[in-house]
């Protein structure tokens, strides 16, 4: 497996493992096991099925961190923090439509199945994900803060780890 693929899998698997372990550790201590935020009277599919909702942003984080790893290493500490915030915001923007579609999928599994289900899932899921996904992530304190810290260190660790491998292989 080449270095590019290894780095991509490092970010995907590393972020997924950290996010899932962090979720379940917080689940043990949070009141009502409410790790994720939610809106009033909102069906809590993201509470009932957390792993798919965690996997979506981990996928996009992996792509972004992989793409920006070399640039990340060239930055000083304040710029690395800023770049991490950019990665987090882009991850949220890319993940939100898919999270909304997944939410609609779980809604349909419970019997809310419209005639034009695919177009409704894509249109409404995308719109609702973009509209409601960001605030839900912001409401998910302290999970979001721990995720941001892990994002910074995982990006740094992967960038350093695979930049050294490249130099050794050349």
Dump pLDDT digits (tens) for 111-129: 777 788 888 888 888 888 8
Q: What tens digit of pLDDT does each residue of 2-23 get?
A: 888 899 999 999 999 998 998 8
* Alpha-carbon span 144 to 141, nearest angstrom: 5
Q: Does 166 score more than 60 pLDDT?
A: no
What global pTM score does this model have? 0.84
Instruction: List the one residue out of 16, 106, 100 whose CA is nearest residue 57.
Output: 16
pLDDT of residue 114: 75
Question: How confident is the prediction for the chain on average, in pLDDT?
Answer: 84
From CA 142, how far away is CA 75, in angstroms rounded? Answer: 27
Q: Other CB atoms closer than 10 Å to residue 133's CB: what's the count?
A: 23
Best-predicted range by mean pLDDT (71-85, 129-143, 150-164) = 71-85
Q: What is the pLDDT of residue 134?
A: 79
> What pLDDT is stored for residue 168 in this prediction?
46
What is the Cα–Cα distance from 56 to 12, expressed in whole angstroms?
10
Domains of the chain: which residue ranges?
3-24+41-163
What radius of gyration, in Å, describes the C-alpha atoms of the chain?
A: 17
């Amino acid at each position: 497996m080449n270095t590019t693929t290894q780095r991509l899998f490092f970010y995907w698997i590393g972020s997924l493992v950290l996010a899932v372990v962090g979720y379940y550790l917080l689940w043990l201590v949070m009141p009502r096991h409410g790790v994720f935020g939610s809106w009033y009277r909102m069906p809590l599919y993201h509470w009932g099925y957390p792993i798919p909702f965690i996997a979506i942003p981990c996928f996009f984080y992996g792509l972004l961190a992989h793409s920006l790893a070399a640039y990340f290493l060239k930055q000083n500490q304040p710029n690395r923090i800023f770049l991490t915030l950019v990665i987090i915001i882009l991850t949220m923007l890319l993940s939100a439509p898919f999270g909304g579609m997944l939410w609609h999928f779980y809604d349909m599994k419970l019997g809310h199945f419209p005639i034009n289900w695919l177009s409704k899932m894509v249109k409404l899921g995308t719109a609702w994900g973009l509209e409601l996904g960001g605030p839900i992530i912001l409401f998910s304190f302290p999970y979001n803060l721990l995720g941001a810290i892990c994002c910074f260190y995982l990006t740094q660790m992967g960038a350093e780890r695979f930049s050294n491998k490249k130099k050794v292989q050349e």
